Amino acid sequence: MREPLHEGAVSSPGEDVESETAAVRKPSWLRVRPPVGEAVENVRNLMRGRSLHTVCEAALCPNISECWNRGTATFLILGNVCTRNCAFCAVRGGSPPKVNGREAHEVAEAVAAMKLVHAVITSVTRDDLRDGGAGLFASTLECIHHRAPGTTVEVLIPDFKGSRSALETVIKARPDILGHNIETVPRLYPSARPQADYRRSLDLLRAARESGTRSATKSGIMMGLGETHQEILQVMADLREARCDILTIGQYLRPSKKHLPVMRYYTPEEFAELKKEAYDAGFLWVESGPLVRSSYHADEQARNAGLSRSEGTPIVREFRRGKEG
């Protein structure tokens, strides 16, 4: 695989988009359709009617049209304002509002209304809350298990500032997949996510596995912030050492001129090579592509992982190795 165009420190997040060189202009394979159509409106109206948020909208996900037209969406709980300000993320930072006491119930009702086979729940980071929002994750899981008992549920959690008790609260509510994104290589943490800690994120994933949970564990990484190939391979090795099962790899897309610039766009062929290298590292399932995000085709990931629900208990059968494609 070619090395990134620039290997130095990531440029200032205030760098103007137009100042990026022609070598890092957005390529044709990243063009997506706008979110329009009856199915899109149905999802939007459902969320608005229940005062719910989606990460699809808050994070400006490029797959919103595809996913909403398939009748799927990723729920964003604990509001839509984050207490952190990661330099790559489109989610608004600031002082979040009070937690909606009916949010868990409303999410479960929406899951049932959408007839989701697999639901994905994530959140903003809430460092202002004593448990980091773990209690609402647990309540949401419990409500979905009750309202839609045949639906498998995946959670994408924050780091809870390293709180083991917060993690245990979520695990006890029996998610089928427990995810936490590593996001980038450790060298780039100071510029990309200064309020996070690489080792803390690894420790969270390791602690989840050491808890004896039967949930599959999952993480994701973005490409194009200035990482080197060797650094990516080391992140893969670190995640596998933490016994992470599933990995998603996607292209970083700059949300605005205030965010970190894209240092490089990887080709579809390079993402295919990264997928092979991730399987070689030992991951049980890998999604890798320019538009891949944590919850992209998460229902298919769950199906390919052999996930099902029986009497309310998570069951993770042997993964099919999806090296082809």
Confidence of residue 32 (pLDDT cuts 50, 70, 90): confident
What size, in residues, is the chain? Answer: 325
Residue 245's pLDDT is: 94
Alpha helices in the chain (DSSP H): 38-49, 55-58, 64-69, 103-114, 134-147, 164-172, 189-192, 198-210, 229-241, 268-281, 298-304
Inter-residue contact 26 to 18 (CB < 8 Å): no
Inter-residue contact 290 to 63 (CB < 8 Å): no
Among 318, 287, 315, 281, residue whose Cα is nearest residue 300: 287
Q: Would you report the helix, strand and coil content of the chain in percent, each value rounded to 5?
A: 40, 15, 45
pLDDT at 18 over 70: no
DSSP state of 107: H
Inter-residue contact 227 to 251 (CB < 8 Å): no
The answer to whether the pTM exceeds 0.95 is no
pLDDT at 320 over 60: no
pLDDT at 307 over 80: no
**Each residue of 50-101: pLDDT tens digit?**
999 999 988 888 888 888 988 899 999 999 999 998 989 989 999 999 999 9
Mean pLDDT of 270-282: 98
Angle of helix 164-172 relative to helix 134-147, nearest 10 degrees? 0
Confidence of residue 103 (pLDDT cuts 50, 70, 90): very high
